Amino acid sequence: MPLLDRSDSVLIVVDTQPDFYPPDRTVDRAQFALIQARVAWLAGVAKALGVPAVVTEEDPAANGATVPAVLERLPPGTPVLVKPVFGLADCDEILTAVATLGRGTAVLAGLETDVCVSHSAIGLLGRGYRVAVASDATFAPGEMHEHGLRRMAALGVEIIHAKGIYYEWIRTLEAARRFEAEHPELAKPPGFSL
């Protein structure tokens, strides 16, 4: 399988909503905040490199809108669409928004690894897309994160970390140095020392 090609990629941000885990739900809040920051970082990288994006929101009335830090880093006009099903490929409006971009590779980040991200990745794979999931920019509580990653990998979804996506989209040392000079705030993913 070749490296990810940014000219063929679309970033899909799945349900990265602040109220997805209300206070009465036990999750590692620090880990959840780090994942949101990595999704926002990937959004900024995608925008800077000209990779289009599509955002989904599950029940925004209950879960809130997408984390503002993510939306602020996306290109203007990025579609933000309500996802009334777990797998986005089963929603005609979202699937049309993705297809309209003319990209063959879907790169997914967001929530929850074992449900909405998995269902979406598997559904897109079944519709002929090459699918990569950012393993460290997706989240589900406890062991459910790893369960979701294993299932997707077993079915043919590529599992790659955020830093790897960045370097596959960048490709060369010269391009990396130029990117870091032009976008110092995006020089490294949150939680990593490069």
Domains and CATH numbers, the chain: 6-186 (3.40.50.850)
Which residues are paired to 35 by β-bridges? Answer: none
Q: For residue 151, what pLDDT is reported? A: 97
Averages of pLDDT over runs of 10 residues in the chain (194 residues) are 96 92 70 91 97 97 94 95 97 98 98 96 98 96 94 98 96 96 92 66
| Residue 46 amino acid letter | A
| Residue 140 amino acid letter | A
Distance from C-alpha of 23 to C-alpha of 107, rounded to nearest angstrom: 29
pTM of the model: 0.95
29-49 vs 162-170: helix crossing angle, rounded to 10: 10
Q: State phi, psi for 22 to the nearest 5 degrees.
A: -65, 165
Q: For residue 20, what pLDDT is reported? A: 78
Q: For residue 22, what pLDDT is reported? A: 64
Measured between alpha carbons, how far is residue 187 from residues 35, 70, 140, 153, 192 in Å? 17, 17, 26, 28, 10
Distance from C-alpha of 28 to C-alpha of 142, rounded to nearest angstrom: 8
Are the beta carbons of 38 and 134 closer than 8 angstroms? Answer: yes
Measured between alpha carbons, how far is residue 83 from residues 54, 90, 118 in Å? 12, 9, 14
Select from 125, 118, 70, 71 the least CA-distant residue to 98. 125
Q: For residue 24, what pLDDT is reported? A: 62
Q: What's the DSSP call for residue 137?
A: E
Percentages helix, strand, coil for the chain (3-state, rounded to 5) are 50, 20, 35
Q: For residue 188, what pLDDT is reported? A: 85
